[in-house]
Amino acid sequence: MPELPEVETVKRGMAQRLTDEHIYSVDQRAPALRIPFPANLKNALEGRRFSHFGRRAKYILACLDSGQVLAIHLGMSGRVRLFDERDDYSPGKHDHLILQTGNSGFALNDARRFGMVMLMDEKDMAGHPSFKGLGPEPLDNGFSGPVLAQALAGKKAPVKSALLDQRVVAGLGNIYVCEALYFAGIHPERLSGSLTETETENLALAIKDVLRRAIDAGGSSLRDYRQADGELGYFQHQFAVYGKAGETCPACSGDVRENGCIKKIKQAGRSTFYCPDRQR
């Protein structure tokens, strides 16, 4: 399900609910998701307190008072179901990990089991294989047109594929790459290295803008903490091109045409949606 905005929304829901909560039980109901659960998970968690929550790329970082971090990746179908009454939760299908705290708790639900749960010392995180090669956080000040241009320079892959590469920029997925390219007016098949300075500037701005708007939409759907489960928030109803093949994009909506402008193609095995008239 989740790309950066959804993961950020889930993280905020968890932070709101679980910060300073003490963990008193860990129920691991499957041996593994995409990778095995950490062998010492129960021991490492029980009795600890959640000190704070963070996010890096699409990983939720649940930080413990022990100095360790529980890093959760939701894969394609992962959800975090928060609950608020102690012992008030009966496991459902695909609930693979259930964690109870004094006043709350959550179940990690993942039908496809593409998700991951890892445990590491906070101080070792930066060097961990899953984090070492990650590119900049797109919403950080350090991410800009020139930084993006640098990362794309010399790459032969189409810009669409390059933006999915977490080493170029962290946290984007198929949906928001399509949306950002649309708002930047850049054709997804353009070669990465061929973008002008103006185009990389516009692209960096479009990435920041579309992510911010999606997080805002997710945040607005968060008034009920139960919606902190990794589903696309209301923003999915605001996609300009993603999933809209054959429909008309917002910029073309004033034009008279028989068929919608939005096309769907495959790039590196992934669907790309774009408007040939507005993306060059």
Catalytic positions: 2-3, 58, 270
Contact pick of 34, 42, 86, 187 for DNA (by CB under 7 A) = 34
Q: Give the H/E segment covering residue 11.
A: helix 4-18
Contact pick of 46, 137, 201, 231 for DNA (by CB under 7 A) = 231
What is the DSSP secondary-structure string of 92-119? -TTEEEEEEESS-EEEEEESS---EEEE
Is there binding between residue 12 and DNA (CB under 7 A)? Answer: no
Contact pick of 42, 49, 155, 213 for DNA (by CB under 7 A) = 155
Which one of 82-90, 109-117, 199-207, 254-262 is the stretch in contact with DNA (CB under 7 A)? Answer: 109-117
Closest CA to 26 of 70, 58, 78, 74: 70
Is there binding between residue 226 and DNA (CB under 7 A)? Answer: no
Residues 6+ apart with CB under 8 A from 117: 33, 37, 38, 41, 70, 71, 72, 73, 97, 108
Which one of 36-44, 48-56, 251-259, 261-269 is the stretch in contact with DNA (CB under 7 A)? Answer: 261-269
Nearer Cβ to DNA, position 237 or 280?
237
Q: How many angstroms from the chain centroid is the CA of residue 11?
A: 10
Contact pick of 25, 28, 248, 271 for DNA (by CB under 7 A) = 271
Closest CA to 280 of 201, 211, 163, 188: 188
- Site residues, DNA (CB under 7 A): 1-3, 6, 34, 57-58, 73, 75-77, 93-94, 111-114, 129-130, 155-158, 161-162, 164, 166, 173-175, 192, 231-232, 236, 267-271
